[in-house]
Amino acid sequence: MLNIFYRKNGMVEVSQSESIFAKIQLEELVWIDMIDPAGAEKRAVEAFLGTEIQSRAQAEEIESSSRYNENEHAIFANTNFLTPGAEEYNMQPVSFTLVGDSLTTLREVPLRSFTELQRRLQANPKRYPDGFSIFATILDQRVDLDADMIELLSKEISQYAKRINQQEDINEDLLIDINQLQENTMIVRENVVDKQRLISNLLKSPKTPDRLEGRFNVLLQDISSLINHTNFCFERLEYLQDTFLGLINLEQNKIMKVFTVVSVFLMPPTLIAGFYGMNVRLPMIAADEPNASFWNWIIIIGIMGLSCLIIWFFFKRKKML
């Protein structure tokens, strides 16, 4: 699918057919937005621009030379746009090609920021005099959306912190949710750093108009703030994870303490019961009475209870209970 924006009589017209290339000049072209184009559409755009459009595989490369490069004819830039999913974020690569004053974008999926910008471009064409202005606006919008995502992550982290402080639902699912938040935070940070590198390269390029230098510098300052915020979010998640594991250890220690105390309490009675269970002549049992007297077993139970009280008193005095 193609969306071709070009200037005609002071207005911006749009066409979705590559046949328009035969009727316009490169100087009239403002923006070509390609969404999962067919092979013939992509070849027509490359023939009109006089340069090759990078493929999706090239857009997904992580090497800096593949993320941004330029020659005497064009600037090629690649970056990832985040799309929120049910539990995690998905990265969608977008390729930008700047030839002269025109912009060409290549993406595989619809993006809301592109759709809104296209409406504004047709409604107020004077605000976007060339492809560089459109490119700067796209980056500006995406940085704002990244800031919104980081704000949502921060709110989610606060909710999990509240649950941990109130010790609500301290279980395995909570730890998995915290790990997923860590993964989302790393993805957002990676995405923001990628834009920081892209804008820094644009500022170094002699092809970038001087009028956009101040705008790009402001974007770099915003991105630096977002990076600091993501670092804080990640540190906070690590703290929550450590707190969660600490609470689990405390709970396990309490359980082990109960088992230990119960075992210690039962040791003296078990010893006494085992002693009087021996098949030998014992105290309080007459030699000529195999079953002994009626009060002997009550006396033995009393001794067992007394031993438990002595142990309880010892633990209490040592402040172990």
d(CA 194, CA 197): 5
Number of domains in the chain: 2
Cβ(37)–Cβ(67) under 8 Å?
no
Residue 255, CA atoms < 13 Å, CB-side half-sphere: 6
DSSP 10: T
17 and 128 both lie in a single domain: yes
- Alpha helices of 166-208 — where are they, by DSSP H? 172-204
Query: Scanning the structure block, which residue is given the tokens 């609470």?
Result: 247
273 and 285 both lie in a single domain: yes
Cβ(16)–Cβ(2) under 8 Å?
yes
Count, residues in the chain:
321
30 and 148 both lie in a single domain: yes
d(CA 169, CA 234): 22
100 and 149 both lie in a single domain: yes
Residue 199, CA atoms < 13 Å, CB-side half-sphere: 27
272 and 205 both lie in a single domain: no
Cβ(2)–Cβ(28) under 8 Å?
no
158 and 192 both lie in a single domain: yes
The string of pLDDT tens digits covering residues 97-149 is 888 888 888 888 888 888 888 888 888 888 888 888 888 988 888 888 888 88
Q: pTM surpassing 0.85? A: no
Each residue's pLDDT expressed in tens, for the chain with a length of 321 residues: 888 888 887 788 888 888 888 888 888 888 888 888 888 888 888 888 888 887 666 655 655 455 788 888 888 888 888 877 666 777 888 888 888 888 888 888 888 888 888 888 888 888 888 888 888 988 888 888 888 888 888 888 888 788 777 776 667 777 787 788 888 888 888 888 888 888 888 888 888 888 888 888 999 999 989 889 888 888 888 888 787 777 778 777 878 877 787 787 777 777 777 766 655 455 555 555 555 555 666 777 777 788 778 877 777 776 666
Question: Domain boundary residue among 215, 232, 249?
Answer: 249
Helix (H, G, I), strand (E, B) or coil at 24: coil
Helix (H, G, I), strand (E, B) or coil at 55: coil
Longest dimension (CA), the chain: 128
Question: Domain boundary residue among 231, 249, 267?
Answer: 249
d(CA 174, CA 165): 13
d(CA 252, CA 110): 50
Question: Domain boundary residue among 249, 267, 293?
Answer: 249
N-term to C-term CA, the chain = 74
Q: CATH code at 213?
A: 3.30.460.20
233 and 262 both lie in a single domain: no
215 and 309 both lie in a single domain: no
d(CA 64, CA 318): 65
Amino acid 151: pLDDT: 87
54 and 133 both lie in a single domain: yes
87 and 163 both lie in a single domain: yes
Residue 9's region, left for phi above 0, alpha for psi from -120 to 50, else beta, is left
43 and 29 both lie in a single domain: yes
28 and 160 both lie in a single domain: yes
Residue (of 275, 251, 260, 277) closest to 311 by Cα position: 260
Residue (of 120, 100, 84, 110) closest to 30 by Cα position: 100
Q: Give residue 33's domain range.
A: 2-249
